[in-house]
């Protein structure tokens, strides 16, 4: 300290100036270094946030795609079920086969089926319907269960009329006559497309 006091005033000023400049330089270096570190940290945080958003977006898109695929499969399955419940091929043969299989699941008697006729659907102009009449026999509850099962298996069909014989206390079995209208699968009764004719041979 005494040595500094012994120095000339101008040297002391130079030393003080150099010390101040050194402090300023160290501070500047520290400021820019720390500032760069903060900037890098902020940039890293932004990148992490961007990646997180992208990952969340990809997960959401993946879940949506899975939902869309399940929905598509459900729609296809529903369409196939609807087609299976529509008349195809020979209408009367289809009705005999389907209703016989349905009746086998119930304790009723299928007494008879009458050949029906095709007609245009009243509300769905692009569809045709096949109408027929069947006669079944069973108890009141058995007939009701058969009708309910028919409506579940053929949701697009209509029961146009249902006639029951009068109740007889001496005979619990009753007879029912049902008039049915079933949708025909469009194009199912058309003959196969004829083979294409051979192309004309080129003339020389």
pTM over 0.75: no
Mean pLDDT of 56-84: 71
Higher pLDDT, 126 or 7: 126
**120-167 pLDDT tens trace:** 887 766 789 999 999 999 999 999 999 999 999 998 899 999 999 887
Mean pLDDT of 36-62: 75
Q: Which two tokens stand for residue 51?
A: 């990646």
Distance separating alpha carbons of residues 151 and 159, to the nearest angstrom = 8
Q: What is the side-by-side strand order in the sheet with 158-164?
A: 109-120, 128-138, 174-184, 158-164
DSSP string, 86-115: SB-SSHHHHHHHHHHHHHTTTT-EEEEEEE
Q: At 64, which helix (H) or strand (E)?
A: helix 9-84
> How confident is residue 29, by pLDDT bands cut at 50, 70 and 90?
low
């Amino acid at each position: 300290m005494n040595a500094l006091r012994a120095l000339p005033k101008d040297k002391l000023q130079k030393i003080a100036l150099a010390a101040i400049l050194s402090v300023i330089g160290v501070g500047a270096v520290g400021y820019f270094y720390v500032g760069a570190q903060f900037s890098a940290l902020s940039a890293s945080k932004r990148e992490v946030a961007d990646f997180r958003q992208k990952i969340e977006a990809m997960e959401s898109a993946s879940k949506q795609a899975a939902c869309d695929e399940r929905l598509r499969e459900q729609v296809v399955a529903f369409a196939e079920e609807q087609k299976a419940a529509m008349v195809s091929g020979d209408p009367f043969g289809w009705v005999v086969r389907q209703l016989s299989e349905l009746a086998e699941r119930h304790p009723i008697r299928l007494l008879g089926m009458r050949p029906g006729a095709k007609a245009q659907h009243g509300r769905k102009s692009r569809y045709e319907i096949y109408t027929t009449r069947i006669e079944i026999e069973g108890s009141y509850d058995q007939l009701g269960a058969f009708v309910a099962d028919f409506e579940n298996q053929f949701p697009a069909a209509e029961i146009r009329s249902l006639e029951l014989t009068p109740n007889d206390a001496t005979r619990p079995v009753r007879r029912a006559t049902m008039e049915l209208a079933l949708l025909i699968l469009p194009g199912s009764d058309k003959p196969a497309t004829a083979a294409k004719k051979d192309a004309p041979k080129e003339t020389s």
